[in-house]
Structure 1
Amino acid sequence: MTSTSVTADPPAMTFSGADKFKLFIVVMVIVAVAESIGIAQFQIGPGKVVLQPMVWALLIAAAWGLAERLLPRLVQVTAGVQSFAGELLNVGLLLFVVKLGLTVGAALPQVREAGWALLFQEFGHTFGTLVLGLPLALLLGVKREAVGATFSIGREGNLVIIGEKYGMASAEGRGVLAEYITGTVLGALFIALLAGFITSLNIFDPRSLAMGAGVGSASMMAAGIGAINAQQPAAAVPHLTAIAAASNLITQVAGFYFTLFLSLPVCSWLYDRLEPVLGRFSKREVKQQISDAAVLAGIGGMKAKELSLADKLIAWAVMTGGVMIGNWLTYKVPVLQSLIGMLIVIAIALLVDLVKRLVQRLPMVLVLSVTATVLGIPGLLPFSDAMIAATAKLNFLTFTTPVLALAGFSVAKDLPIFRQLGWRIVVVSLTAAAGTFLGATLVAELFH
Structure 2
Amino acid sequence: MSQKTYDYPSLKARFQAQWRIILGAFVFIFIADSIGQFSFSIGAGSLILFPIFYAIILGIITGPQVFKVFKPKDVDAAKKLVIVCICPFIAKIGINAGASLDTVIAAGPALLLQELGNLFTIFLALPIAIALGMKREAIGATHSINRETNLALMNDMFGPDSDEARGSLSVYIVGGMIGTIYFGFMVSLVAATGLLHPYALGMASGVGAGIMMASAVATLSEIFPTYADQISALAATSETLSGTTGIYVAIFLGIPLCNKIYAVLEPKIGRKKGE
Question: How much is the aligned-residue C-alpha RMSD, in angstroms?
Answer: 4.1
> Aligned to 2:170, what secondary structure does the other structure show?
helix
Task: Report the TM-score, using the length of structure 1 for normalisation.
Answer: 0.44
Task: Report the TM-score, using the length of structure 2 for normalisation.
Answer: 0.67
Structure 2 counterpart of 1:46: 44
Structure 2 counterpart of 1:183: 171
Q: Aligned equivalents of 1:59 and 1:28: distance in 2?
A: 15
- Larger RCO: 1 or 2 (CA < 8 Å, sep 6+): 1
Q: Aligned equivalents of 1:266 and 1:20: distance in 2?
A: 40
Structure 1 counterpart of 2:219: 231
Aligned counterpart for 1:99 among listed residues 67, 87, 92: 92
Structure 2 counterpart of 1:10: 4
Aligned positions of 1:46-195 closer than 5 A:
46-66=44-64, 76-130=69-123, 132-133=124-125, 136=128, 142=132, 148-149=138-139, 152-153=143-144, 179-180=167-168, 182-195=170-183
What does the per-residue CA deviation read over 1:228-253, in whole Å, with 9 as the maximum and x for residues that have no partner?
23335574546533431321221112
Q: Aligned equivalents of 1:206 and 1:43: distance in 2?
A: 20
What does the per-residue CA deviation read over 1:311-369, in whole Å, with 9 as the maximum and x for residues that have no partner?
xxxxxxxxxxxxxxxxxxxxxxxxxxxxxxxxxxxxxxxxxxxxxxxxxxxxxxxxxxx
Q: Aligned equivalents of 1:261 and 1:11: distance in 2?
A: 28
8 Å Cα contact 1:107/1:239 also seen in 2: no
Q: Aligned equivalents of 1:46 and 1:198: distance in 2?
A: 10
Aligned counterpart for 1:209 among listed residues 205, 209, 216: 205
Q: Aligned equivalents of 2:119 and 2:256: distance in 1?
A: 11
**In 2 relative to 1, CA 266–29 (structure 1 residues): closer, same or farther, beyond 3 Å?**
closer
8 Å Cα contact 1:134/1:147 also seen in 2: no
Identity %, equivalent residues: 19
8 Å Cα contact 2:63/2:71 also seen in 1: yes
Deviation at 1:59, TM superposition (A): 1.2
What does the per-residue CA deviation read over 1:155-179, in whole Å, with 9 as the maximum and x for residues that have no partner?
6657999x8xxxxxxxxx97x6774
Amino acid at match of 1:243: S
Aligned counterpart for 1:222 among listed residues 198, 210, 218: 210
Q: Aligned equivalents of 1:113 and 1:259: distance in 2?
A: 26
**In 2 relative to 1, CA 16–124 (structure 1 residues): closer, same or farther, beyond 3 Å?**
closer
Q: If you compute each CA radius of gyration, which structure gives the higher value, 1 or 2?
A: 1
Aligned positions of 1:211-290 closer than 5 A:
213-214=207-208, 221-233=209-221, 235=229, 237=232, 240-260=235-255, 262=257, 264-265=259-260, 285=271, 287=273
Aligned counterpart for 1:197 among listed residues 175, 185, 191: 185
What does the per-residue CA deviation read over 1:383-433, in whole Å, with 9 as the maximum and x for residues that have no partner?
xxxxxxxxxxxxxxxxxxxxxxxxxxxxxxxxxxxxxxx9xxxxxxxxxxx
8 Å Cα contact 1:103/1:238 also seen in 2: no
> Aligned to 2:46, what secondary structure does the other structure show?
strand
Deviation at 1:101, TM superposition (A): 2.5
Amino acid at match of 1:205: L
Structure 1 counterpart of 2:35: 37
**In 2 relative to 1, CA 199–286 (structure 1 residues): closer, same or farther, beyond 3 Å?**
farther
**In 2 relative to 1, CA 200–268 (structure 1 residues): closer, same or farther, beyond 3 Å?**
farther
Structure 2 counterpart of 1:332: none
Amino acid at match of 2:202: P
- Runs (5+) with no aligned partner, structure 1: 1-8, 71-75, 164-172, 215-220, 289-421, 423-448
Amino acid at match of 2:46: K
8 Å Cα contact 2:154/2:165 also seen in 1: no
**In 2 relative to 1, CA 231–117 (structure 1 residues): closer, same or farther, beyond 3 Å?**
same
Amino acid at match of 1:46: A
> Aligned to 1:65, what secondary structure does the other structure show?
coil
Deviation at 1:129, TM superposition (A): 2.4
Deviation at 1:63, TM superposition (A): 1.7
8 Å Cα contact 1:38/1:53 also seen in 2: yes
Say how many residue pairs are matched: 244
Deviation at 1:43, TM superposition (A): 3.8
**In 2 relative to 1, CA 146–197 (structure 1 residues): closer, same or farther, beyond 3 Å?**
farther
Structure 2 counterpart of 1:339: none
**In 2 relative to 1, CA 142–99 (structure 1 residues): closer, same or farther, beyond 3 Å?**
closer
